[in-house]
């Protein structure tokens, strides 16, 4: 939620002289690390074939993971804009930009507060053009997006729903820091609390034709856990997890978790949730996930200042019955992080059975078995040691074709082999983690 805003640089790193060793469960092994290529926060991941796509606040990287123990960097694209959360649909690479830029180009610069003018929203690149573009002497590839779509409050995250020859992108955003059409006193005169998601239409045969289709109102309570001047009060969603086969969306909307009917994906029923949950320990409904059979919905709480063992109950995963919304249980990793920041963040189910893989910031990667969803258990983990002072650990971690891949805020891209995270062995052709296909 309150991720670091830096791009085009970042905080100066202070290496730890004698870092502690990694910790891990029996059989788990670290295979590979590619340190970040610029001092910018590393963000979300997506996968297609033998490629892993790793977003960061200065652009995105593409790795060939055909040999998971020895991935190779294919392209390092320079196009600054927080957060650059990423998904891949056919030839389209979609990025979420949630910081106000001088314009939509990759040569734009960040606009300082009060953000009265500028651009933020969704960028769409052509994978074929990215791969064909030469690399500059500094190691970065520079080219412009095929489409740039402005969305109110920018795009913190996005979720794709395949719909024939197009993909509908549900854009989640909120006025934490305001913008040209966002937050208190915005010059466009828009609702200062936001109260909408945007839907962008991505035509797969014409990436340049990508455009804003509509905005859709949502009905969620105001989130103001850290009111101004820290953040603006808001009504918005962070992540929307969709399971199109079951016509369902799990909406993690800051102050609450909701289940939506998306049987008409262009017109999701956001104003009449099938149910809504608001657990008192949850500080920020950040992410969601469905079990493979869609009988369980998991919401992740991104705590603001959690240390995993402070007794607050925040920063956990929360398991709910999909039919009723009733709370079944919650889960916190059982490993102390010695006072370092530690909280649930992004997660995805393994194919077959009831297990999930989650990033946990300084808690590393965890594999959780919820076959008995009343008592979810950590069955494996890999916890990389901090290499620099204040390192915040892993942003994203997902299972893909028998291995686990992560993107660490400051450590970069990693691959792991964790036996308990192998899944059912069936080959996946792609993975956009906010879309369960």
- Span 28-58, pLDDT tens digits: 999 999 999 999 999 999 999 999 999 999 9
User: 366 to each of 160, 183, 214, 301, how far by Cα in Å?
Assistant: 26, 36, 38, 15
Q: Are 232 and 279 in contact (CB under 8 A)?
A: no
Average pLDDT over residues 369-376: 98
**CATH architecture, domain 23-431:** 7 Propeller (2.130)
Closest CA to 33 of 417, 421, 418, 415: 415
pLDDT at 212: 98
Percentage of residues of the chain with pLDDT beyond 90: 88
Model confidence at 305, in pLDDT bands (50, 70, 90)? Answer: confident
Cβ atoms within 10 A of the Cβ of 313, count?
A: 16
pLDDT tens-digit profile of 196-207? Answer: 999 999 999 999
pLDDT at 338: 87
**Taking the mean position of all CA atoms in its chain, how far away is CA 250?**
14
* CA quadruple 306, 307, 311, 313: dihedral, nearest 10: 40
Model confidence at 12, in pLDDT bands (50, 70, 90)? Answer: low
For residue 23, list its beta bridge partners: 383
Comparing 165-174, 215-224, 347-356, 385-394, the range with the smallest average pLDDT is: 385-394
């Amino acid at each position: 939620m309150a991720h670091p805003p830096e791009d085009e640089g970042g905080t100066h790193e202070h290496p730890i002289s004698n870092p502690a060793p990694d910790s891990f469960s029996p059989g788990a092994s670290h295979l590979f690390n590619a340190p970040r290529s610029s001092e910018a926060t590393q963000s979300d991941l997506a996968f297609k074939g033998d490629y892993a796509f790793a977003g960061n606040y200065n652009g995105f990287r593409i790795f060939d993971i055909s040999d998971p123990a020895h991935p190779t960097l294919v392209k390092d694209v320079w196009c600054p804009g927080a957060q650059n959360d990423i998904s891949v649909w056919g030839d389209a690479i979609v990025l979420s930009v949630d910081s106000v830029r001088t314009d939509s180009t990759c040569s734009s610069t960040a606009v300082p507060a009060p953000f009265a003018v500028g651009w933020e929203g969704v960028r769409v690149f052509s994978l074929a053009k990215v791969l064909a573009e030469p690399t500059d002497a500094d190691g970065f590839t520079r080219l412009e997006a095929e489409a740039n779509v402005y969305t109110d409050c920018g795009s913190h995250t996005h979720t794709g729903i395949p719909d024939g020859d197009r993909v509908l992108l549900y854009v989640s955003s909120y006025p934490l820091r305001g913008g040209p059409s966002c937050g208190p006193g915005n010059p466009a005169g828009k609702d200062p609390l936001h109260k909408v998601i945007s839907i962008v239409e991505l035509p797969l045969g014409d990436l340049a034709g990508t455009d804003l289709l509509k905005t859709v109102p949502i009905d969620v309570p105001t989130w103001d856990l850290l009111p101004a001047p820290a953040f603006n009060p808001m009504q918005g969603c962070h992540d929307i997890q969709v399971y199109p086969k079951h016509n369902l969306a799990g909406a993690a909307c800051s102050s609450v978790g909701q289940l939506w009917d998306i049987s008409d994906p262009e017109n999701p029923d956001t104003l009449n949730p099938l149910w809504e949950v608001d657990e008192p320990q949850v500080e920020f409904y950040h992410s969601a996930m469905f079990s493979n059979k869609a009988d369980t919905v998991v919401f992740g709480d991104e705590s603001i200042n959690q240390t995993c063992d402070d007794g607050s109950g925040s920063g956990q995963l929360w398991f709910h019955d999909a039919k009723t919304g009733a709370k079944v249980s919650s889960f916190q990793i059982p490993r102390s992080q010695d006072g370092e920041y530690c909280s649930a963040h992004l997660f995805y189910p393994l194919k077959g059975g009831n297990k999930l893989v989650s990033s946990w910031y300084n808690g590393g990667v965890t594999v959780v078995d919820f076959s008995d969803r009343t008592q979810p258990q950590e069955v494996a983990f890999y916890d990389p040691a901090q290499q620099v002072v204040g390192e915040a650990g892993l942003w994203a971690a997902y299972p893909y074709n028998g291995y686990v891949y992560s993107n660490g805020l400051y450590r970069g891209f990693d691959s792991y082999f964790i036996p308990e995270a192998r899944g059912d062995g069936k080959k996946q052709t792609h993975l956009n983690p906010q879309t369960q296909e």
